[in-house]
A and B are shown apart, each in its own frame.
Chain A
């Protein structure tokens, strides 16, 4: 199985800050990497797919980059609604695997 190592596991930030979350795959996954936001009690919401394609309706302060084994999600100018948990997901090969999540908390 491809292991997805996501970091940090948690981060505290303030409204207006920029936050960077990374995901590293244990082997190359090309650009088959997706990012989700999850609020308590809700289904994961797709933010970015194909490593860098912004899902329709997602604010442009979210961006994704990377290819191969190293990927980054950047959130610029944090808004109150951005405080949530974020997961990465590789679909390059089965079994698909997920990162362990990053909890973004208000400082």
Chain B
């Protein structure tokens, strides 16, 4: 059974850097074709795609947030980490990680983690 679980701070102060971790279960970052990304959803708004990393370390970023985002993977821990710098109250949202495997378009989402940006 494939699951993803997000972890990280629930409250971040403006200008700080947010670090979120996605822990995968039931599939491996070492497997060809695996991709894991991050999506966020501000309260009452549509989801917004942020970044994606593949098993071969290929990376993609949202053009509008690219200068603030870094996505990395730790294959030994089967985790994907997202860093977002210079946090602002407008970045308050539920952050989800999403996974895909080779040969299928099925999407696997975590339960999400709410991050509030406030002083």
Contacts and interface: CB of A to CB of B under 8 A. Distances in A.
Interface in A77-107: 87, 89, 91, 94-101
Interface string A15-32: 000000000000000011
Contact of A95 (B62, B94, B111, B112): B62
A43 B105 contact: no
A1 B37 CA distance: 17
B72 to A, nearest CB: 17
Contacts of A55: 106
A49 interface: yes
Nearest to A55: B106
B110 interface: yes
A50 interface: yes
Contacts of A74: none
B49 A43 contact: no
Contacts of A95: 49, 60-63
Nearest to A85: B46
A102 B112 CA distance: 21
A99 B46 contact: yes
B81 interface: no
Given A94-B52, A94-B60, A101-B46, A43 B110 contact: yes
Contact of A91 (B62, B105, B111): B105
A11 interface: no
B105 A50 contact: yes
Nearest to B110: A43
A53 interface: yes
Nearest to B48: A98
A57 B109 CA distance: 16
A50 B107 CA distance: 10
B110 A98 contact: no
A97 B47 CA distance: 8
23 contacts: A1-B63, A31-B105, A34-B107, A43-B111, A44-B47, A44-B109, A46-B106, A46-B109, A49-B105, A49-B106, A50-B105, A87-B47, A89-B47, A91-B100, A94-B60, A95-B63, A96-B49, A98-B46, A98-B47, A98-B48, A98-B49, A99-B46, A100-B46
